Amino acid sequence: MANLSGRSLIGFREGAGSDEAMYAVDPSTGERLQPAFISATPEEVELAARLATEAFVGYQRISGRDRGAFLRAIAANIEAIADDVIARAMQETALPQARLQGETARTCAQLRLFAQVAEEGSWVQARIDRANPQRKPAPKPDIRSMLRPLGPVVVFGASNFPLAFSVAGGDTASALAAGNTVIFKAHPAHPGTSELVGRAIQKSVRDCGLPEGVFSLLFEAGTQVGTQLVKHPLVKAGGFTGSRVAGRILMDLAAARPEPIPFYAEMSSTNPVFILPGALRERGENIAAGLHTSFTMGAGQFCTKPGMVFLPEAPEASGFAQKLKGLVAESASFHLLTKTIHSAYDSAIAKRKADASLKVATVASQAAAGKSFVACSALFETDAASFLASDLDAEIFGPTTLLVQHSSRDQMIAIARSLKGHLTATIHGTEQDLSEFADLIAILENKVGRIVFNGFPTGVEVTHAMVHGGPYPSTSDGRSTSVGSQAIFRFARPVCYQGFPDAALPDALKHANPLGIWRMIDGEMSRDRS
């Protein structure tokens, strides 16, 4: 196991820290892990912001090829220490080795995807409207525009993904690919994993000859460092994955600044599943088995976990429910990631058990907890009228879901219309179902960012077309995604150049198109000269 310092990484420097210390905790035992991690001081936050701003001046101007090489170096450096990273992450999260090996591979694949995007270069959306001096009644000027990076970006680590949504995760990768510098606020659930990956990025900055402040990693157990970063006048954007309570606080801080900044928060989602009549008749028990796997995967600690399931009152519904109840009853116990998540899950399950509008369908037997964060899966049932009259669509982070039976098509449509914003919605149906329930799809298009047909929402592919976002409260801005190559657009803004001589233009807008990228020239997509 590699040695850990427990100190923040501020550019190429190691922070001295404050008197406040925190420890990672092993979820399987409840015991704290060494070493202590020392919180950054306000002065160190200030230094990180200043270094990031100074580095941005140069980093934003390096070529897409050089940014791609940097991202590829980060991936290679993480892979070089993967055994140490995975070993520490297993201690801090109690996640199995295979899960963490897969997450390491995903993290490095994300970095290489954004490297490809940066190197190819067309993401800047270059647009060129050529001059027309003969236009009447007034000559038309030469106008060109492209996307440019914003500046220093603060990124907050997520509790449930110690790698893929953490120090070198999608927010960091997309911000760096766009030409921004990054200050990362490590999550207290896995600080050792964060330090190891942070050092891999720090080494990559050095190896690629980049300015010192391109990346910093700050530790803190509380909220002062994160608050100071979001409010800091040199910070120009933020990315966050976590609870609705924390995300909303940070959103409001970003909006209340003298200079408001974009803050992209992924916060909560219950991810409704609609089982249509044809699918229920044809393969109800198979859907039940897939659903059980989906809502217990990762102990139900995925933001895409299906937390509510809607199905018609039909003879086949009984077989579906019995199959699902049996699977839940046989479920093994799980270890949740943190004491806070464990406490919140226990409280939410107790509240549902006490709710007269709900029926406890099945609760799996639970192993002795001791000091560990052990939890069992739970299945609840209710009817459509009770669901519509209550607030049962709130996210519960953990291995539980809610079955809701409706008595008519109109009730199902009313449920769909009542939903708040979610990351995903899933439809199980036949082609005939899709034809008969086309209005359901139209409603869900305005409720979620991704609609899944005959599958399950857990498992988010990292691709160019993926959308991992949705209307509020699933995210702070439903126009964006935090997964996939389109995430790069969150950390950029359009800049227009009017009447500039060719030599003074960015390469992406020059007449000869030296980058060979796709550009819109007088309304037509082309790789030609302009």
- Which of 303, 316, 376, 395 is catalytic? The answer is 303
421-426-431-434 Cα dihedral, nearest 10 degrees = -20
Q: Which of 492, 488, 490, 466 is nearest to 477 (CA)?
A: 490
Task: Indicate the SS3 state at residue 49.
Answer: helix
Q: CA–CA distance from 10 to each of 13, 185, 227, 464 (Å)?
A: 5, 11, 18, 32
Q: How far apart are CA 459 and CA 444, in angstroms?
A: 20
C-beta of residue 187 within 8 angstroms of C-beta of residue 166 = yes
**Any catalytic annotation for residue 266?**
yes
- Which of 266, 316, 381, 395 is catalytic? The answer is 266
Phi, psi of 436 (to 5 degrees): -75, -25
Q: How far apart are CA 6 and CA 23, in angstroms?
A: 9
What's the 3-state SS for 358-427? CEEEEECCCCCCCCCCEECCEEEEEEHHHHHCCCCCCCCCCCEEEEEEECCHHHHHHHHHHCCCEEEEEE
Compute the residue count for the chain.
Answer: 530
Q: How far apart are CA 236 and CA 372, in angstroms?
A: 40
217 membership: H or E segment, kind and range: strand 215-218
**Any catalytic annotation for residue 496?**
no
Helix-strand-coil percent breakdown of the chain, rounded to 5? Answer: 40, 20, 40
User: Is residue 429 classed exposed, middle or buried when 0-12, 13-18 and 19+ CB atoms within 10 A define those classes?
Assistant: buried
| Omega prior to 312 cis, within 30 of 0 | no
Structure tokens at 250: 């940070």
10 Å Cβ neighbour count for 223?
A: 12
Residue with tokens 């058990």: 353
Which residues are tagged catalytic?
266, 303
